[in-house]
Structure 1
Amino acid sequence: MAQQIPVAFILWLLGGLEWVIWGVAVRVSVSLIGHWAVGHYAHRQGHQGWIVEGLPVQGYNLPWLGLLTFGENWHGNHHAFPHSARLGVEAGQFDPGYLFIRGLEKLGLVHDIQLPQSKPMRAGLTRIS
Structure 2
Amino acid sequence: MNAPITPVAPGDQIIPGWLKIFWLYLMLAPALIWGWSSLSGPRSLASVLLTVVTVGLGHSIGLHRGIIHRSYRCSRITRGVLAYLFVHTGLGGPLSWIRVHYFRDYWQNRLDCPAFFRYDHSIGRDYYWNLHFTLKPADIGRYEIPAEDLHDPWLLFLEKTWFLHVLAAAGLIWAFFGFEAMIVCVPLRISVTIMGHWVVGFISHKYGYARYDIDDAAEHGYNNWVLGALSFGEGFHNNHHAHPSSAKMSTAWYELDLGWYLVASLRALGLVWDVQVQGEAPTQRERAKTRLFRWHWPWQD
TM-score bin, normalised by smaller chain: 0.7 to 0.9
**Correspondence for 1:119 among 282, 285, 288:** 282
Q: CA RMSD in A?
A: 1.9
**8 Å CA contact 1:31, 1:68 repeated in 2:** no
More displaced 10-residue stretch of structure 1: 76-85 or 103-112: 103-112
Q: Which has the higher strand share?
A: 2
* Structure 1 residues 4 and 105: alpha-carbon distance in aligned structure 2, compared to 1, 3 A threshold: farther
Contact 1:66 1:72 in 2 (8 A): yes
Q: Indicate the residue corresponding to 1:65 in structure 2.
A: 227
Show the counterpart of 1:4.
166
Query: Quick one: structure 1 residues 33 and 68, their matched pair in 2 at CA, closer, same or farther if it must change by over 3 Å?
Result: farther
**Per-residue displacement from partner, 1:36-64 (whole Å, max 9, x unpaired)?**
11221111121111111111111100112
- CA separation of 1:99/1:19 partners in 2, compared to 1, >3 Å: closer, same or farther? same
Q: 1:122 to 1:109 in 2, by over 3 A?
A: same
SS at match of 1:43: helix
Unaligned runs of 5+ in 2: 1-162, 293-301
Aligned counterparts, 1:1-129, within 5 A: 1-116=163-278, 117-119=280-282, 121-129=284-292
Task: Report the Cα distance in structure 2 between the residues aligned to 1:9 and 1:108, rounded to whole angstroms.
Answer: 34
Cα offset, 1:105, TM superposition:
2.4
Residues 85-118 of structure 1 show CA distances to partners (whole Å, capped at 9, x for unaligned) of: 1101212100111111222223333222221132
Q: Name the residue aligned to 2:76.
A: none
> Matches of 2:252 and 2:218 in 1, distance apart?
24
Q: Contact 1:77–1:89 at 8 Å: present in 2 too?
A: yes
| Higher mean C-alpha deviation, range 97-106 or range 55-64 | 97-106
Question: More displaced, 105-114 or 94-103?
Answer: 105-114
| CA positional deviation for 1:6 | 4.0
Check conservation: 1:34, 1:68, Cα contact below 8 A. no
Decide which structure has greater helix share: 2
More deviation, 109-118/21-30: 109-118
Larger Rg belongs to: 2
* 8 Å CA contact retained: 1:38, 1:75: no
Identity %: 33
SS of 2:217's equivalent? coil
Aligned residue for 2:198, secondary structure, equals helix
Is 107-116 or 93-102 further displaced after alignment? 107-116
The answer to whether the 8 A contact 2:244-2:283 is kept is no
Give structure 1 stretches of 5+ with no counterpart. Answer: none
What TM-score does the superposition give when structure 2 sets the normalisation length?
0.40
Tell me the amino acid that sits aligned with residue 57 of structure 1. Answer: E
